[in-house]
Amino acid sequence: MSKFNQVIQLEGNLIELKKALLHSQRAEAKAKFKTANLIEAVYEAAANSLLSTPRPKIIPPLKDSRKGKPEVALVHLTDWQAGKKTVSYDIPTLSSRIEEMIKKVLSLTEIQRAHHPVRECVVMLGGDMVEGVGIFPGQQYEIGAHLYEQMFEVVRIIEGSIRSLAQSFEKVTVVCEFGNHGRLGRKGDMPAGDNIDRMAYQIAANNCKDIKHVKWQMSDDWYQIFHIGNYKVLLVHGDEIGSFGNILRKVSAWSTGVVESFDDCYMGHFHTPTALTMANGGRVFVTGSPESNNEYARTFIAAVGKPSQRIHFIDPDKGRVTAEYVCWL
């Protein structure tokens, strides 16, 4: 073949490659457009349905005027995996366990109030509140609810929990972080912020606008840092860590200035409650999941993964934890 013909053939191949690339880009853009429309439709349907539900008026508690040193209740709710269905776990089981958790929060708070005024509650919503769809191969065999129902139920349970707490605390702050199960499609298909967890949080916040002493703090990043007086908290979901054995190394690296300074770190993701201490004295609290017979914990951590969530009490002046409880459910 002459050089001229070779050039012509190469140019022809290049044209075909450009056509194939353009076709691929158009297909990808079309898929993302469909996904974006699906996201908007699911969000609007769930929001409109929930807004039509009648809600009882919340009466704030009487002010605790005692002079004692106050403490703050810090509640960590995470990794609900709503929509997952196994022989021992489904949405009704999740709902009853979180209801039990809120009762334990109120009971433990009353014990703490015997010695300290506890007027404020901070609730951390740590992500993976939904099971999601298409997150990993084979997931479809453990899903018992469509994405719409997953989000609807998470909003219902979050809102019910916050309304219960708002009747016992003079101030409630809800700090929201999203997880990896709430993402839409495979990792990288959509921006990380397009997440079902975030949508559920926003709907729940909108539904609670009538409760004036409840404030919501949303996130558009993989972490949040917030203060309870002098106590500085780093909240992450935990999927950024990689493996369970990497927790201390990764969080210690964050404490060197990668993120703003913090005292302690709270995370979920691993479905197994534990507490670790960094070299600088800061602690890492890993909270479990309300899911039972947890296959993730058993397979990847060699742990039983019994259903649990977490509550701590904080001295805001000294900036430290005064009492810590893993609440078994």
User: What ranges do the domains of the chain cover?
Assistant: 1-53, 64-328
Angle CA(323)–CA(327)–CA(328) in degrees, nearest 5? 150
The secondary structure of 219-239 as a DSSP string is -SSSEEEEEETTEEEEEE-ST
**Closest to 282 (Cα-Cα) out of 217, 231, 229, 213:** 231
Confidence of residue 182 (pLDDT cuts 50, 70, 90): confident
Confidence of residue 25 (pLDDT cuts 50, 70, 90): very low
Confidence of residue 37 (pLDDT cuts 50, 70, 90): low
Q: What is the CA radius of gyration of the chain?
A: 23
CATH superfamily of 64-328: Metallo-dependent phosphatases (3.60.21.10)
Taken as a whole, the chain contains a residue count of 329
Strand partners, 130: 82
Question: What is the pTM for the complete model shown?
Answer: 0.83
Residue the block writes with tokens 């499609």:
185
Token reading at 27? 């297909």
